[in-house]
Structures are given as structure tokens and as C-alpha cells.
DNA sequence: TACTACATTTAGTACGTACTAAACGTACAA
DNA sequence: TTGTACGTTTAGTACGTACTAAATGTAGTA
């Protein structure tokens, strides 16, 4: 195997590690995905250990996380006890999965807390400073409508089956 | 000032803190922004210290970070040495600023590393396993076109001056 | 000049978390 | 049954980072 190809590979793996870390995921997750993405055939945990330099335990948890996100699929081979994994190559599919995952996250809880705050504000409309109450209402409503827009966007994306380049391109036309 | 209004405020502050943390920013950044966002008038660092419970040092760095992202503006009052700050209320504007900021980040460096990997791959086309070289090219090209789509999207957004609800809504129509 | 009221920066600390090493569980094989 | 080849879980560690407390600017004021 050529020297430069190995170089290119390991640069890519490092790049995906940084990217993963930057996005809030473990570095090892990015590295594992990168290795799988550059492999023509499914790899075992031991293969990943070899190519990433991480421990089997770390690989195990990272790959499981990737699988939960839909970025990696497990492939079982008959008459082979090992689990093999391959990378998802349809990124739009993967993005949808990640967005879906995040729906139940801390982020969404915060968003819905704004909604409930507004509801409470309307509820006991008698007490407290009336001017401040009005101001708060306005601010919270503005924030909520922003959140709603973001929410509609992401949930629209997750609902899509056939999101692909053509969809993205028509969106780009509007933004142009 | 009513008890329940104070409650609503502090719940909101806590929610924004969690949200901030989840998005990869310090909790204190979210808290500072939340306090400013709920205040009818600009606040000093000492005001923020009082309302968040953090130290002045922490507040200082957090507010500066918020200002760099365009989520907060400093307001100087004549004949007053204190700096005052107010929250940006146009979130679409803020989003654009954040996206712009991220253009020079680790994320983008990783993206461009894919591009250069492809270039290198084409360059020394003589050496190494030909089948693997072809496979790598295909995979890297697929990844790059995905990154390009994302990149066009975000840079289109940052270029927009008048991005608002109407734009978002027409995008939503397509995704529908 | 020295003083005051700020903001910023720095040294140190506490905490979360991704990792390693090793114990454990589990299923197939002899 | 024991042995073996896996994957997973756990206890401990190392590291990054957001914070506190305190020192250090810095610009107005007497």
C-alpha cells in the first residue's frame, strides 16, 4: 500500500476527529467513523483498535454511540462471532437522524420552558408590575417565535424521506 | 415586584444556561444573555454579577464573548465610567454572526482538509493500489459535495441582509 | 501627583468527561 | 464441563475548561 495514501487517510482521520470534538462529540467517535468511512469492507472492533490506536473499550462505546445516531450500521457475518461495522454513506439520512435525536435533548427542554414561562405569565395576570409584565411578554414571545421557526425547520427536515441535493438546491435558490 | 415574575425569570435564566452549555458554550454565557434579554434597560457588569451569582471576572469574559458573537451590544452612558450591555433582539442577525464566526473555526479547517486530500489523491496517480485509490476518491468526493452543500447554505445565510420570518417561511414551504 | 472606580488578566481550583486497563459477562467449541 | 474469543462494563486517570479570588491595568477625579 502506498505511503501517500496512508498519509491521506490518517490526515482525514485526524480532521474528522477535530470536527467531531468541535461539534461536541468525543474525538474517538469522529476517528472511528472516519476509519469506517474509508474502508471498502466492514470492520471489526479490533480492526478499529488497530487503526485508531484507541482501546477496545473506548471503541466499543464510541461505535455504539455512532450506531445510535445512525452514522454506522452493524453487519453480522455468518459463522463469525465478531461484530462488523460499516459507515452510513447517505449523510442527509444521518443528519435527519441526528436532528431527530436532539429533539429530546436539553435544548428542546429549554425551548419548551420558554413556552411554559409565557403561559404562567398570562395566567396570574393580576399581580406585580404591569409594565414589566408587558415587557417580559413581548420579549418571551419574540424568542418563542424564533424558536418555533427553528423547530419547524428541523422537524420538517426530519420528516422528509427524500431530502437530497435537489431539495438543498431549491432552498439555496430562495436564499440567493 | 411579584414573586412569580421573579420565578419565571430565574427559570428562564436556568433554561438558557442549560441550552448554552448544550450548544458548547459556557453556562455563564447563556445566563448572562438571559439576564440581559429580560432587562428593559442596559445593565452593568455589577448588575450581572448580582443577578447571576457569578464573579465579575467570569462575567467580564462571558460578556465579551457574547459581544464578539453579536448577541450583546455595549452601550456607553455619558458621564458614567461603567460599561453597560444590552441583548441583541434580532436573533436572525445573531445567527448570521455566529455562522460567520464559525467559518474560521476547526470545523472549516477539517472541511478544507478533505478538499486537499482529494487534490493530493489526484496528484500522484501512479503509485499504490489502483482499486483502493478509486474507492477513496469516490468516498471523499461524496463527502465533499455534502460539505459543499452545507457550506453554500450557511454562507448564503450569512450573506443575507434581510433574513427574516418571510424567508424562513418560504424555505419551509419547499421542505413541506 | 495620589485616589477611586471600574474592567481585565492571571494563578489556582473544581468538575466533567473521554480515555486506559482490567474485570466481567456471554456464547460458542472441544 | 472447561476453555476461548469476543463485547461490555467498571474503576481509576488524565486533561480541558469554566469558574473564583486576587493582582494588575486604566482612565477619570481631587
Considering the domain architecture, whether residues A83 and A9 belong to the same structural domain is answered as yes
Considering the domain architecture, whether residues B67 and B99 belong to the same structural domain is answered as no
User: Read out DSSP for chain B?
Assistant: --HHHHHHHHHHHHHHHHHHHHTTS-HHHHHHHHHHHT-SS-EEHHHHHHHH---HHHHHHHHHHHHHHTSEEEEEPTT--SEEEEE---HHHHHHHHHHHHTTSHHHHHHHHHHHHHHHHHHT-SSS-HHHHHHHHHHHHHHHHHHHHHHHHHHHHHH-SS--HHHHHHHHHHH-
- pLDDT for res A12: 94
- B2-34 pLDDT, tens digit each: 558 888 999 999 999 999 998 889 999 999 999
SS3 A44: strand
Identify the band that residue A94 occupies on the pLDDT scale cut at 50, 70 and 90. Answer: confident
Considering the domain architecture, whether residues A104 and A137 belong to the same structural domain is answered as yes
Q: How far is CA B131 from CA A40, A64, B124, B136, B149, in A?
A: 10, 30, 15, 9, 28
What CATH code is carried by the domain that includes residue A29?
A: 1.10.10.10
- pLDDT for res A2: 57
Percentage of chain A surpassing pLDDT 70?
Answer: 87
Domain boundary among A44, A61, A89: A89
Considering the domain architecture, whether residues B66 and B127 belong to the same structural domain is answered as no
Percentage of chain B surpassing pLDDT 90?
Answer: 50
Domain boundary among A63, A89, A115: A89
Considering the domain architecture, whether residues B84 and B101 belong to the same structural domain is answered as no
Q: Which residue of A has its CA nearest to B157?
A: A175
| Residue A126 scores a pLDDT above 70 | no
Considering the domain architecture, whether residues A104 and A32 belong to the same structural domain is answered as no
Task: Give chain B positions within 8 Å (CB) of A21.
Answer: 106
Lowest-pLDDT range of A40-54, B64-78, B143-157 = B143-157
Closest by Cα among A34, A26, A32, A27 to A44? A32
Q: How far is CA A123 from CA A116, A137, A145, B4, in A?
A: 10, 12, 20, 10
Name which residue leads in pLDDT, A140 or B156. A140
Domain boundary among B55, B72, B89: B89
Give me the number of domains chain B comprises.
2
| Residue B79 scores a pLDDT above 60 | yes
- pLDDT for res A89: 94
Q: Note down the domain range covering B164.
A: 93-175
Q: Per the CB < 8 Å rule, is A174 touching B168?
A: no
Mean pLDDT of B124-138: 83
Considering the domain architecture, whether residues B111 and B157 belong to the same structural domain is answered as yes
- pLDDT for res B138: 95
Of B16, B106, B145, the CB nearest to A19: B106
- pLDDT for res B83: 95
Measured CA to CA, the distance from residue B38 to residue A172 in angstroms comes to 35
Considering the domain architecture, whether residues A78 and A100 belong to the same structural domain is answered as no
- pLDDT for res A83: 96
Considering the domain architecture, whether residues B54 and B108 belong to the same structural domain is answered as no
Percentage of chain B surpassing pLDDT 70?
Answer: 88
Q: Per the CB < 8 Å rule, is B19 touching A111?
A: yes
- pLDDT for res A4: 83
Considering the domain architecture, whether residues A110 and A76 belong to the same structural domain is answered as no
Nucleotide with smallest C1' distance to residue B58 CA: D19
Measured CA to CA, the distance from residue B16 to residue A160 in angstroms comes to 29
Task: Give chain A positions within 8 Å (CB) of B145.
Answer: 165
Mean pLDDT of A38-44: 97
- pLDDT for res A79: 81
Task: Give chain B positions within 8 Å (CB) of A153.
Answer: 168, 171-172, 175
Mean pLDDT of A130-142: 92
Supply the mean pLDDT for chain B: 86
Residue the block writes with cell 445516531:
A69
Considering the domain architecture, whether residues B85 and B103 belong to the same structural domain is answered as no
- pLDDT for res B164: 59
Considering the domain architecture, whether residues B79 and B148 belong to the same structural domain is answered as no
For the CA of B43 and the C1' of D24, the distance in angstroms is 25
Amino acid at each position: 500500500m502506498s505511503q501517500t495514501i496512508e498519509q491521506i487517510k490518517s490526515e482525514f482521520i485526524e480532521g474528522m476527529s477535530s470536527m467531531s470534538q468541535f461539534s461536541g462529540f468525543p474525538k474517538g467517535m469522529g476517528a472511528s467513523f472516519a476509519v469506517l468511512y474509508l474502508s471498502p469492507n466492514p470492520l471489526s472492533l479490533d480492526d478499529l483498535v488497530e487503526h485508531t490506536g484507541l482501546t477496545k473499550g473506548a471503541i466499543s462505546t464510541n461505535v455504539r454511540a455512532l450506531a445510535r445516531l445512525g452514522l454506522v450500521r452493524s453487519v453480522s457475518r455468518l459463522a463469525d462471532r465478531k461484530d462488523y461495522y460499516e459507515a452510513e454513506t447517505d449523510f442527509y439520512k444521518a443528519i435527519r437522524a441526528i436532528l431527530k435525536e436532539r429533539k429530546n435533548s436539553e435544548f428542546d427542554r429549554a425551548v419548551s420552558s420558554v413556552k411554559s414561562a409565557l403561559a404562567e405569565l398570562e395566567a396570574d395576570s393580576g399581580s406585580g408590575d404591569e409594565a414589566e409584565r408587558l415587557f417580559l411578554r413581548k420579549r418571551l414571545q419574540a424568542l418563542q417565535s424564533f424558536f418555533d421557526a427553528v423547530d419547524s425547520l428541523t422537524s420538517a427536515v426530519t420528516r422528509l424521506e427524500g431530502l437530497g441535493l435537489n431539495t438543498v438546491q431549491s432552498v439555496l435558490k430562495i436564499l440567493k
